[in-house]
Amino acid sequence: MNSQLNAAGEKREVRLIDVCLVAIAMLLPAAATAKQAGTCTAGATLRLSAPEANQGSLLLIEIKSTKPLAEVQGDWEGRSVPIWQEATSEKQRKGLLAVDLEKTPGEYELKVTGQTADGEIMSCSAMVTVKKGLFTTEKLQVEKQFVEPSPEQIKRANEERQKLRDIFDRVTPERLWEGNFRIPLDGVTTGSNFGKRRILNGNPGSPHTGMDFPAATGTPVRATQRGRVALAEELFFAGNTVVLDHGLGIYSFYGHLSEIDVKAGDALETGAVLGKVGATGRVTGPHLHWGLTVERARVNPLLLIKLLSSPSSEVTRKKPSRPVTD
Ligand SMILES: [Zn+2]
């Protein structure tokens, strides 16, 4: 479920003209003002950027203690939660709660546990309501030959999906990023299609797992933050693809590139060119497909930029000026 690609879903995108100008930025939550959300022991507080979360969204977690903290871990439905310390604030931690875009709506418990420097056990708990995401749905009738890959192509796509799952399952324990994340294209403020559902010839497909940014072939694609290249190769659906590992279970995905300019294992700085925009794989025109996976949850990448940036540099809500294809 975690791969950026899905044979059942992406095969339905073959050669389709996306006629929809697409509603965008549907998932942006209220401004990231942390509210008291949990109950804690040892004089600690737990705050979340919003009391509830839509499918495909992220919440910022803030933990504050009256005493220096030695270690802190988070648990959300059996998966660890990325938690880190910024600068020298030993009494504070930040974290990210990631809600997969297909997570069943309901109430879930976030648990944070740790230890203060003097050995006192600290634990926090918060109930988080997951709500259905507001994704657009598009119904299309297309010729069968355009939506059904051959058995060999399906086999290849399934192998690649498993390879991506294995990558996203690995959690690099160090935080490799520092500071704000950025959109991978210069001069672009927003994208479209995240979470969009398609119904083709009456059959519901898998949701679209990333953001699409239409751009000219050859436009430089830049690393959203510091990270290590986890994958740099051609995939059946996503074409030339790069996956960056940012540490703590956070991965960014760049698809349909015309060329790849890095190789697996490379360490990249924020803004480093990793490839060029293209139309490789199953697409209708040149664009960048940008995805974000946090502890296997597929989330809206623009939300990470919003949550980790200062209030003055929030993501602008703006409609794209031209149609988007994918
Ligand atoms: Zn896409």
Expressed in angstroms and rounded, the spacing between residue 76 Cα and the centre of ligand 1 is 28
pTM: 0.83
Q: How confident is the model at residue 317 (pLDDT cuts 50, 70, 90)?
A: very low
- Among 116, 65, 72, CA closest to 92: 65
Would you state the pLDDT for residue 88?
Answer: 75
- pLDDT tens digits for range 89-113: 889 999 999 999 999 999 999 999 9
Would you state the pLDDT for residue 313?
Answer: 36
- pLDDT tens digits for range 43-67: 899 999 998 999 999 999 999 999 9
Expressed in angstroms and rounded, the spacing between residue 208 Cα and the centre of ligand 1 is 6
pLDDT of 221 > 90? The answer is yes
Would you state the pLDDT for residue 316?
Answer: 40
Write out the two tokens for 163: 């390879």
pLDDT of 315 > 70? The answer is no
Strands 121-131 and 52-54, sheet pairing:
parallel
Strands 58-64 and 92-98, sheet pairing:
antiparallel
- pLDDT tens digits for range 157-201: 999 999 999 999 999 999 999 999 999 999 999 899 999 988 877
Specify the DSSP element, H or E, that contains 46.
strand 45-48
Expressed in angstroms and rounded, the spacing between residue 5 Cα and the centre of ligand 1 is 9
Expressed in angstroms and rounded, the spacing between residue 258 Cα and the centre of ligand 1 is 15
212 by Cβ neighbours in 10 Å (0-12 / 13-18 / 19+) ranks as: buried
Expressed in angstroms and rounded, the spacing between residue 228 Cα and the centre of ligand 1 is 22
